Structure formats: structure tokens, C-alpha cells
Structure 1
């Protein structure tokens, strides 16, 4: 059976064209002449039949009726081949359509089963949804009851909140009164510390005046001692001894000044303690007590210094000579 339009007449035409060009009508040449179409087996069969026909015509000339019979037979064979090919093609198409219909029917049956299962599932879901709706209605009723209870609880809570706000305002007023009282106490403590500081500064200034007066007295006595040394060489030894006493007195005065400086530093420390007292109201009384003790110690130091000065003056008087100035004695 020939393929796709390849028949004996077509092969004969291609063979004749090749022979007319003086080429050998081989299978490949004929197939190329046909445009690379057709089966080589079919072309070989047709070429063999054509060669046999040519050999037959060469031995005995065929009559016109034989040629027509051969042509009719050849055309009948070609028509049968074409009919068989068309029938086979139609059968193949029909088989493909039948397979397509069967596949579609199978898919539709599967789809139908899926739809039936989906319908059953939707029915079950509808039943579950109805049950859920009933439960939701019950829950809604319970929620309404709970909302009413919560509203009542909210009103009760608002009442308690108002009471609590009143208590808070009362506590804030008490706290403000306590703060005012504490501020008043701080101010009073500050005024008291300032008064004590002013008194201490006045005492220190008085002591400094006394020290300056004593220094002036010492200068005067030193001048008198210089005159006495010029008048009486005998008193030189006593003057030197008295000079040593004066130096000792000056050392005592320096010690007194250092004690005074210590007192001032102690006072500065007490002022820092007073600043800390402003931040520590709960321990204010103890800090004030410590400050008073420090002030008493300073007063005692000042009193000791005054006693030492008096003692030094008494020693000078007991010596029977006024105190000499250290600087003038050295010049002498």
C-alpha cells in the first residue's frame, strides 16, 4: 500500500523524466524527483513493475486492449490502495474519537462521583452548620446574660473607683500638708544654722582682732627690749632667753592659728553636713546634734587658745620683761 499520494503513475512519471534527462532511475533519484516523499519499498516495487512492463513490451508488442486492461488494472489497484488508506485513516480517527469519548465518559463518571461525594459532604456540612448555628444562638444568649452581668459589674467598679479617687485626693491633701510642714521645718533649721554660723563668724573675727592686738603688743614690747639691750649689755643673756620664750609663744600662736584653720575646715565640713541634712529629713535631728557637738569642740579649741595666750602673757610678766620681737632681736 502506497503512502500519502505515492502511486505507480507518479513513480512512472518521475522515472520517465529521469530517463529523458539521461539519468539512471534509481530508487534514491526517483525519491528525490518526487520531493523526498514516498517509501523506498513502494518506489522499488513500482520501478520493478515498470521495468518488467518495459521488458514485456520489448518482447511482444501489446495490443491496445491489453494496454487498456493493464491501465485499468493498475488504476483499480491504485484506487484500492487509496481506498484502503482512506478507510484505515478513518478507522484510526474513529478509534481515536472512540477512545476520546470513552475517556470523557470516564472523566464524567469520576466527576459525577466527586459531585455526589461533594453533595454528601455539603449535606453533612449543612447539618454541622445548623448545629453550630444552634450552638451560636445558645452562646449568644449566654453572652447577652454575661454582658448584662459585666455591665452591672462595670457600674459597681465605677462606684468603687470614685470612692478610691476620693481616698486618693484625701491622701494627696495629707501628703501636701506633710510636705508643707517638712518645708517649714527645713526653713527653720536653715535659719537656725545661719544664725549659728553668723555667731561663729563673729567669734572668729573677735579672736582675729585679739590676735592682731597681741601681735601689736608684741611689736611694742620688742621695741622696748631693743632699747633695753642697747642700754644694758647685761640683759643680753636674759633677752636671748626671753627671745626663745617669745619664739615658743609664737609657735603656740601658730598652733592656735592652725587650730583655728582646723576649726574653719570643721565648720565647712559641718556646712556640707547641713546640705546633706536637707536631703535626709528623717535623720535631721541626729545631724543637728553632731553639728552642735562640732561647734562645742571648736568653742573649746578657741577657749584653749585664749587660755594659752593668757598663759603666755603671764609668763612674760613673771619674767619681769616685756616680750621681744623675734625679727628685731635678730637685727640686733
Structure 2
């Protein structure tokens, strides 16, 4: 072995490479490829390799120079073709390996996409269940509000019954007063005036209570409007839930079609899809239950409207009784409002409804009624006592 560490194998590899390139394997060319080594050592190894090659070629020295060159050329070509075939085989193997890796990567991405779609569907299902819980809570609150409204309507009915009793009592007192006035007009004039004053005070209280009842009915109408709007919102939420359920069905169908190429994953996805279908079926049942509850609320709404109609009829009856009673008292009663007092317009059909004005004067007509001249920021309007109240 040479002092600088080069071996016969290294010289042989460089010699074969030079021959494959069509170059002569001289000492200088081999030393240039190796980058090290002495010329003597390289020449020694080249001679040994040449002798070995001559032995492998069955003593090419015994042949002619032309035949020796031909055999050497053929040997080099065989070696080159063998190297090319090995390189081509390695390239084909590399390409096939890359294709397999790409297929595995594509299948992995498809599998991840399927997992993400399943997670998205599960999240949407959880959101839908949360919305249904919200709807149940809202329905419970509505039921509590309706129960409270029914209780309040019952109290109002009892109160109106008490007012009817008071009106009948007032009518009896009024009849007695008229008889007393006819028989003892002169003797009991003082008592008659006191009775009339007390009666007028009670009538004023009754008018105030009637106005309070009208305001309560107005508030109940607003509550009814709010309940009706809530029912409409529940209807919209129910429709949204049905649309979401239909969307879930479509997404489940698309997921089945996308997972046909992955058999093992398809089995897992089919199990998950079956669970989602059961969940959607349960949600549809809950939706039907919500629909039935909405119909129940609408029935309760109709009952409330009937009760409202009955209350309105009772108020109309009381107003008729008051109109029958008022002409008898108008002939002798003094004005309810004095000049300079501030009054509020209570007639909802008047353009001055809920406006405050000041009484400038009043006029008693031949039929016993009193008309008041009321100033509204300089505008004088003539109003009856039924259309105004003290502000």
C-alpha cells in the first residue's frame, strides 16, 4: 500500500470511470481524479489491474492488437450498459416509491377531511340541541306569563262583579232619593243635597275606576301583542330547526358518497351517520312537540280573546247604565270641573287624546248636560265632562 493511503480498489474504480467516459486511464488522469497519491504507486496499481484484466480476457496478448481492442471495447460497453440498466431500475423504483407516497398522502388528507366533516356535523348537532333547549325555556316562560295573565284577568272579573254590585246599589239609592224628593221635597231638602253630593262623589269614583279598567285593558292588549310576537318568533325558530334538520340529512348523504373509496373509514362513518340520524329523528320529535305546544298556546290565546270580549261587553253594559243614570242627575248636579282647572282628554277617538288643557268656562244646556270650553295652548275646544278628567 502507498504511503499516502490510496488503495488498489480506489485506482480500479477511477480507471473504470475514465474508461466509461472514453478517456485513457493514464497516471496523471487517475491522480487528478483521486486528488492524491504518488505516480509510482498509481502506475504500479495500473499495471497490476492491466495484468488482471488481460488474465480475465483469456490472455488477450496472444491475440492481435485489433482483436484485443475490440474485445476491450465490448467489455467497456457491457459494463456501461449494465450501469445504465441499474440506474434506470433505480429511477423506476424511485418514481414508483414517490407515487406510492403521494397516494398515501392523498388518502391521509381525504381521511382527515372526513374526520373534520364529522366533527363539523357533530358541532352543528350540538348547536341545534342547544337552540331546542332555549326554545323549551322560552316556552316555559311563556306558559308562566300566560298563567299570570289568567290570574290577573280572574281578579279583574271579580273586581268588575263588585262594580256591578255597587252600581245596582247606587241605582237603588237613586230610586229612593227620587221618591224622597217627590214626597218630602221641602222637608228633606238638606238631606237630599247631602245625598246627591255623596252620590256624585261615588259616581266620580266609579268613572275613575272605569277609566282604570280601560287602561288595564289597554295594557293587556299590549301584553297580548307581545305574546303574539313571541309566538311568531317561536314559529320562525321552529321553521329554522326544520330547515337545519333537512340540511343535516343532505350533509349526511354527501358524507356517504364521499367516503365510498375508503372502506374501513366508511364503516366508521356509517356508524357515526346512523347515530346522527337517530339524533335528527329525536330532534324532529322534539320539533313536533314544540308544534303541539305552539298550538296549545294559540288555543290559550283564543281563550284569552274570549275573556277579553266578555270584559269589553261588561264595560259596555256599565257605560250604558251610566248613560241611563246620568240624565237624571244632570238636571240638578253642579259642574264637576271648575274654571281654571287643568283637565286631561280621555276620549281615544279625539285628536286631543291624552293632551292637557285648562277650563276657561262652562255652559249648562237645556237637557241638563254641561259643556266645557277648554284651552289647549290658545286653541279653545268644547268638550263634555265624559271626555275629560282632572289632570
> Common fold, TM-score beyond 0.5?
no
Please report the TM-score for the alignment, with normalisation by the length of structure 2: 0.32
**More relative contact order, 1 or 2 (CA 8 Å, 6+ apart):** 1
Structure with bigger gyration radius: 1
Please report the TM-score for the alignment, with normalisation by the length of structure 1: 0.37
